Amino acid sequence: MGATLEIRNLHVSINGTPILKGVNLTINQGETHALMGPNGSGKSTLAYALMGHPAYTVDAGQVIFDGEEVLELEADERSRLGLFLAFQYPVAVPGVSVANFLRSAINARRKSQNPEDQGISIPQFRKLLTQKMDLLGIDHKFAGRYLNEGFSGGEKKRNEILQLATLEPRVAILDETDSGLDIDALRIVADGVNKLKGPDLGILVITHYKRMLDYLQPQYIHLMMDGRIVESGGPELAEEVETAGYKPFFEKHGVEVTEE
Amino acid sequence: MSERLTSDEKALRHINDEYLTKYGFHDTEEFYSIKGEKGLSEEVVRWISALKGEPEWMTEFRVRAYHTFLGKSMPAWGADLSGIDFDDIRYFVRATDKQESSWDEVPSEIKDTFDKLGIPEAEQKFLSGVGAQYESEMVYHKVREDLEKKGVLFLDMDSGLREHPELVKEYFGTIIPPTDNKFAALNTAVWSGGSFIYVPPGVHIDLPLQAYFRINTENMGQFERTLIIVDEGAFVHYVEGCTAPVWKSDSLHSAVVEIIVKKGGRCRYTTIQNWSGNVYNLVTKRAVAYQNATMEWVDANLGSKVTMKYPAVYLMEPGAHGEVLSIAFAGSGQHQDAGGKIVHVAPNTTSRIISKSISKDDGRASYRGLLKVHEGAHGVRSNVVCDALLLNPESRSDTYPYIEVEENDVTIGHEASVSKVGEEQLFYLMSRGLSESEANTMVVNGFIEPLAKELPIEFSLELRRLIEIQLEGSVG
Ligand SMILES: Nc1ncnc2c1ncn2[C@@H]1O[C@H](COP(=O)(O)OP(=O)(O)OP(=O)(O)O)[C@@H](O)[C@H]1O
Ligand SMILES: [Mg+2]
């Protein structure tokens, strides 16, 4: 039986401003879900709150993953439990190479399972990393570059997926991994994610573009507006959004449109 | 006063006969031990010189420097030096006394760090000044033989003066005269130990010369004096210090390092120092580089209560290049006032200064740098970068970049940044499973990486490990 990520009535605020106003969502390992919604509706906020960003205050609600109370854990513990977030805007860490970073991340996970663990050997790690880079069509030179420093938008996104591939989480949230990618890069990244898909990986993909959904074929589509999931459905929901935009949904759910 | 001095002088010159009988000491032992007390006077200066059997010019040089020291005021800028009590310092301690200090006196934090670094106990004792000679003496002899074949001189400064007095006399105190600053004067008056190196024309020494190989009790004295002469087209990389914390019961370390790099020569001088938290570390380092010569200072400062150190390069002739790369880590209660000084005297000379400082808790790191271009020094190119990283809200960093340019056609770049270990960086790393302290260490190691990779590999690894130890379990 796979693990389940269960979000119940989640309320989150930033600096005292409520952003999420009662989110309910359940993702099982092996399923692919998509989260759509207008700019500023709270999609990234949900992603950060699930991963445990300290600036996001949980005011109410529960998140359970594989039977554990996620909200009581620090970000690193959530990660080691099997949650993963591919960031919409990954930050640079100058002077730390991609390879060094990934090896430390792998070792941190191994050590948490077994305090006696000596860490992955360098040849073994090199083999693993090469294999994952090949899977995603990433140049091997990439391993020696400093994490996200001077990366192009597309390189940042690929690097996030490289981390996903290497760390093998149980549930991964992809926050607009498709934005900023050119058409070929999008195909490569989406193909890469598809290769990782399987009974052991649950995915929540946040996107504005149907093209990404065409590649990933999620079974479930959710629509977020003003901090709530207002509709959930199958692939047809994405079609509706694509043709009619969000306006009919705003009207239907009585959400005020606050465009600046 | 002068009368008394004269009689002392006379006596000291015949230290082995007259002096003892004249003053009624029963044996040499007693004479020595009576003088090994705290405080400084001309008598003490003469006594140190006499004890070493130095030539007269050196004795007089010391005495003049002592008077210069008295006449100089303390630096009014930089760090707070009010805790230094010149009367409470022992200016010369013989090796035999040093060994009397007890291993039990060494603070437990220092012993802990030794253990974490995996340093064997014999070496730990040596580093704490309580051990006698260390096994690496053997290794050193081997190195020294190889060097001798090439005509390289590599001695402690006292032996250098004894065995090569003309060479020492020609250069000693010419790069850093006693009048330069109060502490240079003090060092000149009471110096002991340090290294003397001469590399003949065209000789390349491939392996770094490590002061470490030459470890003896004199070596890590309080007032070391180092003189390095790199002759035309020669190359040497000299490495001093080690990352293990050096416990000193003496609270003042004031060294002077003078370097001459002749035409087409290159010298790299790497320092890693990690003094215990009671030490005032006030060091004057200066090099002159002649035509097409290169001088590089790589300087990593950890520990100490106060460090003031600004390695300098004077670019004397066209084509000379100077570099200062410095890393400073200021922990709680520490003030690292470090930086570099480059003086472009000649045209078409180039330089760079890169400084990286890290402040933790209420630690304070200051960058102080001078870039000077003399009139007539056309076509100078220089780049100065100083980056500071603050680990805690109460950490502090200051920059004092002085740039004095007396020519128009020069290219000078200057960048400074102050950053904090960002919440976003920590969150990003933690979201991949690194603990908060692992994430912190990773950001800090990344910050120093561009300079750490300039260090010999074992030093670079030790430096990282040491920073890790400093950061462990104390995340802000
Ligand atoms: N750190 C912050 N401080 C203040 N407000 C914030 C912060 N982060 C997000 N917000 C606000 O929260 C709301 C939701 O933002 P969020 O980034 O979750 O939207 P999103 O659905 O991901 O939008 P997009 O599609 O543009 O990525 C927005 O109004 C945003 O301005
Ligand atoms: Mg977003």
Residue B387's H or E segment, with its range, is strand B381-390
- Verify that A35 and A76 share a domain, yes or no: yes
Cβ atoms B248, B275 nearer than 8 A: yes
Do the chains contact at B431 and A112, CB–CB below 8 Å? no
Distance CA A52, CA B236 (A): 52
Q: Which residue has the tokens 């207002």?
A: A230
Measured from the Cα of A46, ligand 1's closest atom is 18
Do the chains contact at A52 and B431, CB–CB below 8 Å? yes
Identity of the residue numbered A220: Y
Q: What is the CATH number of the domain that holds A78?
A: 3.40.50.300
* Sign of the Cα pseudo-torsion (A86, A88, A93, A94, in order): positive
Q: Is residue A163 part of a domain?
A: no
Q: Is residue A178 part of a domain?
A: yes
How far, in Å, from the CA of A226 to the mean position of ligand 2? 13
Q: Is residue A44 part of a domain?
A: yes
Do the chains contact at B432 and A79, CB–CB below 8 Å? yes
Structure tokens at A216: 């990933």
- Verify that A236 and A137 share a domain, yes or no: no
- Inform me whether the C-beta atom of residue A87 falls under 8 Å from chain B C-beta atoms: yes
Q: Which ligand is nearest to the CA of A40?
A: 1
Q: Is residue A125 part of a domain?
A: yes
Name the residue with higher pLDDT: B130 or A215.
A215
- Verify that A100 and A143 share a domain, yes or no: yes
Q: Is the CB of A14 under 6 A from ligand 1?
A: yes
In the predicted model, is pLDDT for residue B144 greater than 90? no
Domain locations in chain B?
A: 29-309+421-428
Contacts of residue B419, defined as CB under 8 A and 6 or more positions apart, other chains included, come to B387, B388, B389, B390, B447
Which residue, A66, A4, A30, A33, is CA-closest to A200? A30
In the predicted model, is pLDDT for residue A259 greater than 80? no
- Verify that A132 and A186 share a domain, yes or no: no
Identity of the residue numbered A16: G
Measured from the Cα of A38, ligand 1's closest atom is 25
Distance CA A112, CA A138 (A): 29
- Verify that A72 and A9 share a domain, yes or no: yes
Q: Is residue A159 part of a domain?
A: no
Distance CA A26, CA A16 (A): 27
- Average pLDDT in chain A: 92
Domain residues for the domain of A80 are 4-90+168-253
Would you state the torsion angle of the CA atoms of residues B433, B435, B436, B440, taken in this order, to the nearest 10 degrees?
Answer: -90
Average pLDDT estimate for A184-194: 89
Q: Which of residues 6-45 of A touch B (CB under 8 A)?
A: none
- Verify that A85 and A99 share a domain, yes or no: no
Average pLDDT estimate for A120-146: 91
Distance CA B174, CA B172 (A): 6
Instruction: Out of A36, A39, A246, A255, give the residue to mutate to test ligand 1, the one with the largest number of ligand atoms within 8 Å of its CB.
Output: A39
Q: Is residue A158 part of a domain?
A: no
pLDDT band at B124 (very low <50, low <70, confident <90, very high): low
pLDDT band at B23 (very low <50, low <70, confident <90, very high): very low
- Verify that A247 and A187 share a domain, yes or no: yes
Q: Is the CB of A42 under 6 A from ligand 1?
A: yes
Domain count along chain A: 2
Closest chain B C-alpha to A242 CA, distance in angstroms: 32
| Alpha-helical runs (H) found in B195-264 | none
Q: What is the pLDDT of residue B3?
A: 35
- Verify that A132 and A243 share a domain, yes or no: no
Task: Supply the residue whose CA is at minimum distance from atom 27 of ligand 1.
Answer: A39
- Verify that A194 and A235 share a domain, yes or no: yes
Q: Is residue A204 part of a domain?
A: yes
Residues from chain B that touch A173, judged by Cβ atoms under 8 A, are none
Residues from chain B that touch A90, judged by Cβ atoms under 8 A, are 428
In the predicted model, is pLDDT for residue B10 greater than 80? no
- What is the number of alpha carbons within 13 Å of residue B448 lying toward its C-beta? 28
- Verify that A99 and A82 share a domain, yes or no: no
Measured from the Cα of A37, ligand 1's closest atom is 21
* Candidate from A85, A96, A109 with C-beta closest to B431: A85
Residues paired with A134 in a beta bridge: none
- Verify that A80 and A104 share a domain, yes or no: no
Q: Which of residues 137-196 of A touch B (CB under 8 A)?
A: 146-147, 163, 167
pLDDT in tens, B331-385: 999 999 999 999 999 999 999 999 999 999 999 999 999 999 999 999 999 999 9
**In terms of C-beta density within 10 A (0-12 exposed, 13-18 middle, 19 or more buried), how is residue B342 classed?**
buried
| Measured CA distances, B331 to B25, B243, B364 (Å) | 48, 15, 8
Do the chains contact at B448 and A95, CB–CB below 8 Å? yes
Work out the angle at residue A167's Cα, subtended by the Cα atoms of residues A166 and A173, and round it to the nearest 5 degrees: 110
**pTM, to two decimals:** 0.78
Cβ atoms B176, B258 nearer than 8 A: yes
pLDDT in tens, B100-123: 445 666 666 666 666 666 565 655
B452: nearest CA in chain A? Answer: A95
How far, in Å, from the CA of B442 to the mean position of ligand 1? 28
- Verify that A213 and A194 share a domain, yes or no: yes
Do the chains contact at B434 and A163, CB–CB below 8 Å? no
Q: Is residue A223 part of a domain?
A: yes
